Amino acid sequence: MLKDITIGQYFPGETIIHRLDPRIKISIIVMFITSLFFVNRFFPYIFIVAFILIAISLSKVPIKFIIKGLRPLMFIILITFLINVFMTKGEVIFTLGPLSVTKEGLSQATFMALRLVFLVTGTSLLTLTTSPISLTDGIEELLKPFKRIGLPSHELAMMMTIALRFIPTLLEETDKIMKAQMARGADFESGNIIKRAKNLVPLLVPLFVNAFRRADELAIAMEARCYRGGEGRTRLNELKLDKKDIGIFASMALFFLFILSTRFI
């Protein structure tokens, strides 16, 4: 299951989505996430689904790869669904002991579950189609205006990108530790949820040790390459917007403005 998490991974390609300026992609994802939290009915989700399917098709990322990335989050999605089903008051459809299922609860639960699915899918597409270096450069460029108030844009962008790219590495480490302990007789699959959680505690110590070791190795490697932060640094490939990038950004901005407008219509 740990290997199914796709957030933080990069899927190489030469599609129009891969070649799109990282600043534009990050801006589109920000607008996409914002629109998800403004939508308050099911009708706009039709356009959201169409947007995601077109983006996946253009990026040529296998749909099975996207679905696989949702599997580790199914438990969270299910818990969110159940909480909304049983905790939302309204017209009662049927009861399960002390719990009541309402019409409003089913609607709200489905709504929230779809929002989580779209949120994870959109975020995964950003990392799957953007290399770590491009992602760092894009975040840094977008944060540059905040330098006037003392925000270290380069360092912050580098930190965010490293943290994001460490997700697959830590998951791989966790998988190796679990397999090593299972070979020694550890059981991570039997018992209830509480027992399984307790069985995972022995994983934390070696996982934290490996994480700190990798962080130290990364710091040494960066110092060996004379990394001293963003001041005075130049890039081999400077980010430049062309007409295609501007056209796509303008189209997406109008699209998400339409999605936002559905809240007030």
* Per-residue model confidence (pLDDT) at position 161: 76
Residues 164 and 40 in one domain: no
* Per-residue model confidence (pLDDT) at position 3: 54
Domain assignment present for residue 142? The answer is no
pLDDT tens-place string over residues 53-74: 999 999 998 887 788 777 777 8
- In 3-state terms, what secondary structure has residue 137? helix
Number of domains in the chain: 2
169 lies in which domain range? Answer: 155-233
One-letter amino acid identity for 5? I
Residues 19 and 67 in one domain: yes
pLDDT tens-place string over residues 61-114: 888 778 877 777 788 888 888 888 888 787 777 777 777 778 888 888 888 888
Domain assignment present for residue 137? The answer is no
Q: How does residue 230 score in pLDDT terms, banded at 50, 70 and 90?
A: low
Residues 9 and 70 in one domain: yes
- The torsion of the CA quartet 132, 242, 66, 81, rounded to 10 degrees, works out to 100
Domain assignment present for residue 139? The answer is no
Residues 178 and 107 in one domain: no
Which residue, 75, 83, 47, 111, is CA-closest to 256?
47
Residues 209 and 84 in one domain: no
pLDDT above 70 covers a percentage of the chain that reads 89
Domain assignment present for residue 117? The answer is yes
